[in-house]
Amino acid sequence: MTPCTLYLITSRNEAAQRAHFAIFVPAGVNPDQRTLIEAMGAPMTGYTLESKGNYCPAQDHVEDYEIMRIGETDSQNVVDDETGLKYIDQSPRDDIELVASGIPTPGICENFLAPVNESSNQRDQEWTLEYIRLLVGRRLISSEAIQVVYSKRDPPTHGLRFQPSIHRSS
């Protein structure tokens, strides 16, 4: 088995926002780029699955991001794109992407100001955690990955911009 390391990338534009989660699978030939797998969208519009090929985190315009190792998979589970061309695709090209394509992305939230949960009010963090659990269940990555991803989740009410009511005396 030739190992291929998988990474979690978390990013946010401001501290008050919920972090966006994505899984990065670097290439064996060029470890600075390869595939980024993520649920893209917003709670008001719903999310779609995207696989970005030949993606390079250092060339992204996101200012505040963190990359952490979550585990390894056998390199037979991933396919290198040798064209070098950037692309965004929704069709799976390898086993890692195939697992992602089998998980429904979160739809439009009925109440997007309600606290986030893993059943009725999901965002990309919850989808990513479900994706990692499925990769573990299929023995494509070790179970430690679940703890790494779970530890980076925001609290359920973070980034919802709750404005508590204040009773003001006249």
Distance between CA 133 and CA 139 in Å, rounded?
A: 10
Q: Within the chain, which residues score under 50 in pLDDT?
A: 162-170
pLDDT of residue 85: 80
Residue 5 Cα to chain centre, angstroms: 15
pLDDT of residue 133: 96
For the record, the structure tokens of 146 come out as: 């679940």
Q: Quick one: how far is CA 66 from the chain centroid?
A: 12
Instruction: Enter the tokens of residue 11.
Output: 């990013």
Strands (E), 75-156: 87-89
Which tens digits make up the pLDDT trace of 77-113? 888 777 778 888 878 888 999 999 999 999 888 877 7
* pLDDT score, position 26: 85
Whole-number pLDDT of residue 161: 65
The pLDDT, as a whole number, for residue 169 is 42
